Every structure is written in C-alpha cells, then in structure tokens.
Amino acid sequence: MTATHTTERAVVAKRVDSGTADTEEIRDLARAAGYEVVGEITQTRTEDPAYHLGEGKVARLSNAVAREDATVVIFDNQLGPYQTYNIGNELPDRVRVIDRFRLILEIFGQRAQTRKAQLQVELAELRYELPRAEAKASLAKRDERPGFMGLGEYDETREEDIKKQISNIRDDLESIEETERHRRDQRRESGFDLVALAGYTNAGKSTLLRRLATELDVDENEDLHPDLDATAESEDRLFTTLGTTTRRAEVGKREVLVTDTVGFIQDLPHWLVESFKSTLGSVYHADLVLLVVDVTESVEEIREKLVTSHDTLYERNEAPIVTVLNKTDAVDDEEVQRKKAALSSLAPDPVAVSAREGLNVDGLAERIDRELPDYEQERLVLPMTEDTMSLVSWIHDHANVEAVDYGDQVVIEFEARPAIIEQSRAKAGDLVGASA
C-alpha cells in the first residue's frame, strides 16, 4: 500500500467542459491522503486527447510545480495512461502525476484496517490497473516496442494474472460476506433490529451514530456484547469510515444495532463502486436505512447526491429508507423548511437533526421505531417444568414480556420480532412434546 504522505507538497489540477472548476473536494481528498496542497491550476475547455489540459496550461502547471517545490500533481479528473505519461514529461524530474481515482485508492489503502477492507482496496487497484495492462498489450502487439509511451515493459502474462487475481479476491470476499450474513442472522435471532447509516462522506454519519448511542443509553460493555465493534470515529475529514462500526441502542422497547458504513463520494467510476459493493452489505440487508445528508449544502448538491444514493441503494436494498437532514444547527429553520419542500419528491417526510448538538435526536428515534417492522403479539401456555423456566428467561431476554402467570401451567404474554415469535413457538412445542 502507499504510505501516508505527511510532507509531500501537491498542486491540484482540474479541467471542466463548461462553467467554473470547483477544487474544494479534490483539496479535501488530497489533505485526507496526507498531502499539503500548495497550488492549483484549472481550465474550462474540451479535453485534449494528448495532455487532458491544453499544452499552454500544462506549461503553466509545470511552472507552478517548480515555483511551489511540489513533488506531486493531483488531477481531479480521470487520466488515460498516455495522458499521464505526456503530462509527466512536461513536469520537473521526479514529480508524480496521479488522477482522482488513484488518489482515492491511496486513501482507501491508508484506511483499510480489516481483511475485508484490504481485499476491497486490492480489488479496486487491480480493476484500475487492468485497462492499463490491456493498453500495454494492445500497443506492444501493434508497435512491437515494449515500454513505448512510457507505459513500462510489456509482460504478456500480466493481463491474465490480473484477471486471475480479481477472480480469487471475489471468492475471498464472498466467503467473508457469507460469514457476515450468518452474523446478521444471529443478531436478528437474538432480537435485534438492524439499522444502517448511509450517505456521503462528511454528512455526519459517525457523529450521528455516537449521538444515537449516547442519547439512547447504549451499553458498550464488550463483555456483555462481544459482537459489537469499537466506538465510531467522528472526524471532520473524508473517508474516516472505510469499514463498518456497529453500536447497540434502545429505541422505545426495541433493541437496535446501528451500523455506520463507508461514505459515498461523488463521480466514482463503475469499477471503483463495484469493488466496494460488499462494504454496503450491512445497508442492503438492514431492516431500515437512514440516508444522512448535509442540509447546509445547496438544494442542487443535495438533490444530486440523493439521486446517486438512491441509485446505489435501491439496486439491492429492500428496506425502507428515511432521509435525515443533518447539521440543522448551521442553518435557520426557514432554510430547513425551504429545502424540505424543494426535496420532497426525493425525500418525503425527512427528519431534520443536528447530530453535533443533539437537536431532535429523540424525534429521529421515534421515527426509527415507527419505520421498523411491527412487533407481533404472542401468548404461550407451557407446562410447569425446569426447562420452562429457562424458556421464560430466554423470552425475557429477547422480547417485551407483558404478563406471566404461574399456576398449574405457565402462561406468558409478550411481543417481539417475528423471528423471535417463531423461535419461541418452536421451543414451546419441544417443551410440550417432552412433557407429554
């Protein structure tokens, strides 16, 4: 993996077809990777096939790099292998050129702490490299000049090696996902509802997770709950959450597990999204998804992000989605209402909160309770045996017990998730059969 660049100086560059180039996000990404941004070059024009930017702008870029003593140029665009080589030839010696997606891969590599995250980063890197290996193969066969255009020596087996590695990693990820599916089933069988937080980076998902857990009196005792993950980070930087973090909370009568997931980011290519699809397993298989957005952004920005998020979530997700407008402490009520109205077609009946200040977190908790699957009522009549006492204790742990009558028989009335009702009926059937 690429090491964190704590001292490297970077110049960012961006080309747009029309309008004005916005470099705020690429600067944030560069800082997230550990670079110090010391300058920028932007251009509005159609893409130059050889240099991406116009040749005159590349010359200005080279001057800026030399003036600022930068060692890397970061493009907020996707560069082809030939464009990368051509630009590099116009820059001072030993200056690297990386594009937006190589930068994102660097960040992912730095943040990957689990085996699953590391595999996903490796998969994304291989998918990034594959078309470049194919380009080398095509060029070498056509021109019979290995290393032409600075693409490196052509290894005729490299393309097949990459495809084989991709296949092997997919198999490894599928095995991990199977284990996670089993874990989710166990959690549901233990009486937990599963809630997932989704949304773009820096929307405040990790802060909201911490607030929900704090507000709802979460029990963080790892001895009692060994299946729960460490406390979520909540830093003001992109990609703080690459893996997932799960916390336990109580919503009304419910036991809920809330999971924070990897943040979305704008303009990701298909190959990169695909590489991290398994990270979203906790979203796709949740009972409820909270889609968190930053209400301080413009209506246009929020709308674009909601559309992209829905495209990603609705592809495989069957759970209801509730939009959470976060950071209300930074805008007035009038603006919140205006944005609610403007976004009503994409986000009907959203919940407005401030995770940082704890505003309306109780209202969000009530909404979570309403949106989760309804509990079912059950009444069991059991023989009076020692095993029955064990079952009564199990029901107390996994359901909301409303009444228990101890007489010649034990009559217990309770409400619970459908899965818990089914298990209790099966256990009761075994008891009745054993006492007959």
- Which segments are annotated as binding site for Mg(2+)? 206, 241
Known binding residues for GTP: 199-206, 260-263, 326-329, 354-356
Q: Which among 245, 238, 237, 232 has a CA at the least distance from the CA of 266?
A: 238
Q: Give the DSSP letter of residue 217.
A: T
| Phi, psi (rounded to 5 degrees) for 336 | -60, -45
Strand order in the sheet with 376-383: 376-383, 409-416, 400-406
Extract the tokens encoding 139.
């060029």
Query: CA-CA distance, 257 to 278, in Å (whole number)?
Result: 19
Query: CA-CA distance, 355 to 366, in Å (whole number)?
Result: 15
Tokens 């009761």 locate to 428
Where helices occur in 190-315 by DSSP H, the ranges are 205-215, 270-275, 281-284, 299-314
Known binding residues: 199-206, 241, 260-263, 326-329, 354-356
CA distances from 395 to 194, 369, 420 (A): 19, 21, 8
Q: Which among 125, 95, 98 has a CA at the least distance from the CA of 109?
A: 125
Q: Are 64 and 10 in contact (CB under 8 A)?
A: no
Radius of gyration of the CA atoms of the chain, in A:
27
Q: Which among 205, 213, 381 has a CA at the least distance from the CA of 293?
A: 205
Extract the tokens encoding 311.
């495209």
Query: CA-CA distance, 337 to 103, in Å (whole number)?
Result: 37
Q: Give the DSSP letter of residue 350.
A: -
46's CB contacts (< 8 A; 6+ apart) are 17
Q: Are 148 and 136 in contact (CB under 8 A)?
A: no
The count of other CB atoms within 10 Å of the CB of residue 357 is: 13
